[in-house]
Amino acid sequence: MTVKKGNASVRGASVKMSRRKFMGTAASVAAAGTITGFPNIVQAADPLRTIGLGVSIINEIQGKAAKDLGFKIRGQALGYGALFGKTLNQNDQYDVSECYYDMFDVMIPSGVFQAIDTHRIKDWDKISDLTKTGMLTPGSSIGQGDAPVRQIWVDKDGKRAKGPSRYISGLPGWHNADSLGYNPDDTGRPIESWAELFHSDFKGRVALLNIPQVGAMDAAMGMEALGLIKFGDKGDMTRKEIDVLIDFLIVKKKEGHFRAFWETFGQSVNLMVSGEVALQSMWSPAVTAVNAEGVPCIYASPKEGMRGWHGAITISKKATGKRLDQAYEYLNWWISGWAGAFVARQGYYMSTPANTKKHLPADEWDFWYEGKPAAKELPDPFGSPLINKGQVRDGGSYEQRFKKIAVWNSVMTENDYLVKRWTEFLTAN
Amino acid sequence: MSDASKTHHTGLIGSQPKPVDGLQRAKIAHTEEGFPTAWLITPATIWLILFLVIPLISIIIFSFWENTPGGLIPAFSFEFYGEYFYTEGFFDPDADRFLLPSVFIRTLGSTIYFTLVTMFLCLIVGYPIAYFLAMQVQAFKWQLALFLLCMVPFWTSYLIRAVAWLPMLGRRGLINQALLGMGIVDKPVSFLFYSEFGYTMALVQIYVVLGIGPIFFSLAKIDKAILEAALDMGATPFQIFREIIGPMSLPGVAIGMIFIFVVIMGEFATAVVVYGGKTSTAGTVILNYYGIANYPFAAVNALMLMLAMVIGIVVILRIVDIRKEL
Amino acid sequence: MARWTPERWRKLRVKSGFSIYYVFFLMFIYGPMFAMFILSFQGRRGGTSFPMRGFSLYWWEKLLEPSTVGDMQGAMGRSIILALMVMVITGLFATMLAMAFRKKFWFSNVLFYTILTGLMVPGVLLSLGMAILMRQLGIPAAWYTSGLAVHVIWALPFSYLVMMAVFNRFDSRLEEAARDMGASEWTVFKEITLPLITPGVVAAGLFGFTLSYDEFARTTLLSGADNTLPLDINASMTQRIRPTLFALGTASTIFSLLMISVFLGIYTILYRRSR
């Protein structure tokens, strides 16, 4: 009896199974036509896999690279958290990771990358001194925090090396300097110091970046400018300094000083466009985007200097053989000029300015790198008009900006403590 | 059977002959019947073990590891549990943190507070909708259609809807424009957005549907003939609700509240988008420590959050034992 | 035909009261979507918040073109296929589990709480735990393997509890009668149980679809080399957010409404035929 029942069930199940199997097959056949990546096994030549933020993983860029290099490249754009997590935990899932030097305090000890041999980088000489000596031009200040020059040098095995070496942790890529963005109609005066971030005139109309390690640095710039405290190293604060900073922020928050804390590029643009805030910590291309939507917005160049960040293209330790060769080709391509011109039109700078210049028409070069007024209407990377004739890039020329970086994005030694106190700041009411 | 289905419309759980009497007997008598239990639970159990239990055990193991600048080190350390509970100055009467719970406990506390408020609002807002669908709409077809209409916002990615809140509720948003246009206010109001008010409203807006579903299911099963009979016998609507509808919908309410409770306890995105990140939830804390690769402490936070959730669910099940109601 | 007795009037008043409340409720939960609809027709130089800078179909046209960051169309296809797979598996598992739970078995309590644990584990950590284990075992992550695995874990408790509600007070006398007449277990299930619970199974599956389609945290480390839609949208936010996103949202809303209408139509036809 029981056996019979069992049989019946099994028979029923097998009928069901085969029907489902059929549907599965149908779905995958349909998928193969339209959706990439479903039938993973069928790929003839596996593409080079690269991951990064939407800043560098743009279909035009990887598409052009694939065309120029003659092999397939599959770019996967991720949000910041996903990029960090994937780079750190899944280096078997990518060949190239387009990440940032401020992540390297975590990434280098974990050994997820392989050392990049500068002898295999064709344009190594053309890479500016910003990452090699820390000084774009002689006499510039290196700046506090995780300046690229403090993160770039490694030995053959990818361990940190003191001073210049044949091997590097990541190839210098796109970079920029951030400061404050403001709507001049709302502030009623030009903003020339980080101290304005806490001015009571803007109570309830200020936003701050909500990535603890970066937001804290912006706030620290403001507090230092107010003369309330002098930090030893804003990129590596002590517990005591963190306490002073957060206690101050909590008082400000309780006063209702902050309208919001933003986390993504798009959020910061919308905060400004919709008139929610008058003044906030902001990224330069976001200011350009606000302007493009017809809302006045100025990117401040505070007298205390800006906060810099620098992209780094890295190769996974798991990439070997042909994959590794392709990864090197891709790295070489990135700094060869075309991509530099592409990201320039978004407001980012490239580590090989000389190569970028070759690919950028003179009037665009003058606007983006030299800080001169636009001679005519200039396009964004996709050809739509972005910059009006006569407009001047806020913050001056490339040299002016990077001569005086006050601090670089960093992961501090006391990062855990910072995040804990930052949580307290956010919870305070 | 055919008689039964003629007298009732096909409810959401299918037509059923008059229930209740003899049910218990039938159940006990037939525990030997039906498909073999092992056969029914094996696939799901294997799935759960592989993809839930094993990763969960690894999370628990993680929570005892040490986090050093060189990376994670396997260990059996209670350091992070201490970190979670203990604040410097807790036992020091002179410190300003004297007897103040740690920031993590306070964050968990405020998360629970928002969750309970939202649960209560969801119940008040959602129950009448479930009641309307189950009791006032006659045809099953329309019940389903009107219920699905409530689900539609869910099928637009949360991340897209999140972007749309600002132009809805912000200073230049639709609501402010309407208020200005009607002359109700003379300058834009800012309490709608980036505020506790806006945050709570948004949570209700997103999650109320999770509660409506189960309540609707349990209400839909109530035999309308019983209600008619009660009315004929002169019962007031209030009495009918208290004696029949209320108790019979309790399992649905319990299930709906479990959904809402658990999901809002784990919520982190809405606080950023609608409250402008001006509060921190237990979920944000986990995400922040995950973001700086301090996985052991993220795990400790996660386990404490889960503990709070288990307690909440046990309390709800104490009030209404949905399994006993079966 | 009925006369307009006071009782009928009362019922009508109650019903219209509830209907008005329902309409207000819909307006409430559709809230931000109104802004989304309007802004999807934003002018070419406008953005995702007010003011409107003209009026155009530009962003709707952009919807059909390849996106600049990521691959929106492909990601959407993957998300739908994934959600459908989750729908089928959770629907099946939830039904089987709920049927098993009609009887007591020795570790039913443990299993009950294990299923509910899927609701409680924070998504990022489940994703991390899985990712690290898979790395140790050398299994690559992909949205249709590891992604599917954790999506089912997430959706199963919802579908399962819905099915529990369905079997709640389910009358087993019909099944009993069929068995007495000598029907096999399979026949009993196919002919009696299934027709009774079908709407519930559909609802449970629908929960699975919805939850999977929108899931972000659990997919971050487990989707492999291709993004699902939420991952793709998240990535696109590291750039300017364009109104294309709103066109996509509006399009999927319209599509959902259409699907509901189609579903209603099919249901009506089938219902008529079964009569």
CB of A325 within 8 A of CB of A211?
no
Tally the domains of chain A: 2
Chain segment A92-113, per-residue pLDDT in tens: 889 999 999 999 988 998 889 9
State the number of CA atoms in the 13 A half-sphere of B73 facing the CB. 10
CATH ID of B102-319, from 3.40.50.620, 1.10.3720.10, 1.10.760.10, 1.20.58.100: 1.10.3720.10
Residues A202-231: what's their mean pLDDT? 92
> Which residues in A lie closer than 8 A to residue C232 (C-beta atoms)?
77
> Which residues in B lie closer than 8 A to residue A420 (C-beta atoms)?
103
C41 to chain A, closest Cα gap in Å: 15
Distance in angstroms (rounded) separating the CA atoms of residues B150 and C71: 29
Average pLDDT, chain C: 85
Give the mutation candidate from A112, A206, A420 for the B interface (greatest B CB count, under 10 A): A420
Q: Report the SS3 class of residue A64.
A: helix
Whether B312 and chain C come into contact, CB under 8 Å, resolves to no
Note whether A294 contacts C226, CB cutoff 8 Å: no
Q: End-to-end CA distance of chain C, in Å?
A: 25
- Residue A196 is encoded by which pair of tokens? 């304005």
Q: Which of A54, A82, A93 sits opposite C239 (nearest CB)?
A: A54
Q: Which chains touch B (3 or more CB pairs under 8 A)?
A: A, C
Tell me if A99 is assigned to some domain: yes
Chain segment A261-311, per-residue pLDDT in tens: 998 888 899 899 988 999 999 888 888 888 888 889 998 889 898 999 999
Chain segment C183-225, per-residue pLDDT in tens: 888 888 888 888 878 777 887 888 889 889 888 888 888 888 8
CB of B136 within 8 A of CB of C25?
no
Distance in angstroms (rounded) separating the CA atoms of residues C195 and C166: 12
Whether B294 and chain A come into contact, CB under 8 Å, resolves to yes
Predicted confidence band at B33 (pLDDT cuts at 50, 70, 90)? low
- Residue A301 is encoded by which pair of tokens? 């160049």
Whether C38 and chain B come into contact, CB under 8 Å, resolves to yes
> Which residues in A lie closer than 8 A to residue B69 (C-beta atoms)?
105, 109, 413
Chain segment A328-350, per-residue pLDDT in tens: 999 999 999 999 999 999 889 99
Distance in angstroms (rounded) separating the CA atoms of residues A175 and B36: 64
Is the domain of A252 the same as that of A265?
yes
Q: Tell me which residue of C254, C256, C253, C243 sits closest to C63, measured CA to CA.
A: C243
Q: How much is the pLDDT for A45?
A: 62
Residues B238-261: what's their mean pLDDT? 88
Q: How much is the pLDDT for B18?
A: 43
Chain segment B264-320, per-residue pLDDT in tens: 998 888 888 888 888 888 888 988 888 888 888 989 999 999 999 999 998 998 888
Partners of residue A311 on adjacent β-strands: A100
> Which residues in A lie closer than 8 A to residue C185 (C-beta atoms)?
5, 8-9
Q: What angle do CA B263, C226, B289 make, to 5 degrees?
A: 45
Q: Tell me which residue of A120, A127, A115, A124 sits closest to A154, measured CA to CA.
A: A115
Whether A361 and chain C come into contact, CB under 8 Å, resolves to no
CB atoms within 10 A of CB B210: 25
Is the domain of A124 the same as that of A207?
no
Q: How much is the pLDDT for B99?
A: 66
Whether C1 and chain A come into contact, CB under 8 Å, resolves to no
Is the domain of A165 the same as that of A87?
yes
Q: Which of A9, A211, A262 sits opposite B35 (nearest CB)?
A: A9
Q: What angle do CA B301, B303, B305 make, to 5 degrees?
A: 70
Predicted confidence band at B98 (pLDDT cuts at 50, 70, 90)? low
Report the complex ipTM: 0.84
CB of A90 within 8 A of CB of C221?
yes
What's the Rg (C-alpha) of chain C? 24
Q: Is B106 exposed, middle or buried (0-12, 13-18, 19+ CB in 10 A)?
A: middle
Tell me if A13 is assigned to some domain: no
Note whether A89 contacts C49, CB cutoff 8 Å: no
Q: Which CATH number characterizes residue A226's domain?
A: 3.40.190.10
Element containing residue A75 per DSSP (H, E):
strand A73-77
Q: How much is the pLDDT for B230?
A: 86
Whether A74 and chain C come into contact, CB under 8 Å, resolves to yes
Q: How much is the pLDDT for A354?
A: 93
A367 Cβ contact partners less than 8 Å away, ≥ 6 residues apart: A373, A374, A375, A378, A387, A391, A393
Is the domain of A312 the same as that of A299?
no
Q: In sequence order, which ranges of chain C are alpha helices (DSSP H)? A: 6-39, 58-62, 72-100, 108-120, 123-137, 148-167, 173-180, 185-188, 194-213, 229-236, 244-274
- Closest chain A residue to C73, measured at CA: A35
Whether B306 and chain C come into contact, CB under 8 Å, resolves to yes
Whether B58 and chain C come into contact, CB under 8 Å, resolves to yes
**Interface A:C, Cβ pairs < 8 A:** 151
Chain segment A124-172, per-residue pLDDT in tens: 999 999 998 888 888 788 888 889 999 999 999 988 888 899 999 999 9
Q: Is A6 exposed, middle or buried (0-12, 13-18, 19+ CB in 10 A)?
A: middle
What percent of chain B lies above the pLDDT cut of 70? 85
Give the mutation candidate from C59, C168, C270 for the B interface (greatest B CB count, under 10 A): C168
Note whether B286 contacts C161, CB cutoff 8 Å: no
Note whether C71 contacts A59, CB cutoff 8 Å: yes
Is the domain of A411 the same as that of A297?
yes
Superfamily of domain C76-238: MetI-like (1.10.3720.10)
- A interface with B, Cβ–Cβ < 8 A, is 6, 9, 81, 84-85, 88, 105-106, 109-110, 204, 207, 210-213, 253, 258-263, 266, 270-271, 274-276, 411, 413, 415-416, 419-424, 426-427, 429
What percent of chain B lies above the pLDDT cut of 90? 22
C83 to chain B, closest Cα gap in Å: 11
Q: How many helices (H) and strands (E) does chain C have?
A: 11, 0
> Which residues in B lie closer than 8 A to residue A276 (C-beta atoms)?
166, 170-171, 193-194
The domain limits of chain C are: 76-238
Distance in angstroms (rounded) separating the CA atoms of residues A270 and A234: 29
CB atoms within 10 A of CB A92: 17
Is the domain of A291 the same as that of A417?
yes
Chain segment B176-223, per-residue pLDDT in tens: 889 998 888 888 888 888 888 989 999 999 899 889 988 888 888 787
CB of B41 within 8 A of CB of B48?
no
- Closest chain B residue to C175, measured at CA: B34
Q: Which chains touch A (3 or more CB pairs under 8 A)?
A: B, C
User: With 70 as the cut, is the pLDDT of residue A28 above it?
Assistant: no
Poorest-confidence range of A26-40, A162-176, A348-362? A26-40
Backbone dihedral region for residue B18 (phi beyond 0: left; psi -120 to 50: alpha; all else: beta): beta
Which residue range is the domain that position A300 belongs to? 177-305+404-427
Q: How much is the pLDDT for C273?
A: 64
Q: How much is the pLDDT for A5?
A: 35
> Which residues in C lie closer than 8 A to residue B252 (C-beta atoms)?
165
Question: Which residue has better confidence, C196 or B239?
Answer: B239
Tell me if A1 is assigned to some domain: no
Which stretches in chain C have pLDDT values below 50?
Answer: none
**Total number of residues shown for chain B:** 326
Residue type, B221: K
B226 Cβ contact partners less than 8 Å away, ≥ 6 residues apart: B244
> Which residues in B lie closer than 8 A to residue A204 (C-beta atoms)?
190
Distance in angstroms (rounded) separating the CA atoms of residues C137 and A318: 15
What backbone phi and psi angles, to 5 degrees, belong to A212?
-45, -50
Is the domain of A184 the same as that of A286?
yes
Whether C123 and chain B come into contact, CB under 8 Å, resolves to yes
Note whether B48 contacts C153, CB cutoff 8 Å: yes
> Which residues in A lie closer than 8 A to residue C238 (C-beta atoms)?
53-55, 77, 79-80, 264-266
Element containing residue B203 per DSSP (H, E):
helix B196-220
> Which residues in A lie closer than 8 A to residue B297 (C-beta atoms)?
416
Q: Which chains touch C (3 or more CB pairs under 8 A)?
A: A, B
pTM for the model: 0.83
Note whether C164 contacts B322, CB cutoff 8 Å: yes
> Which residues in C lie closer than 8 A to residue A11 (C-beta atoms)?
186
Q: Report the SS3 class of residue C21.
A: helix
Distance in angstroms (rounded) separating the CA atoms of residues C20 and C240: 40
Poorest-confidence range of A31-45, A192-206, A274-288, C18-32? A31-45
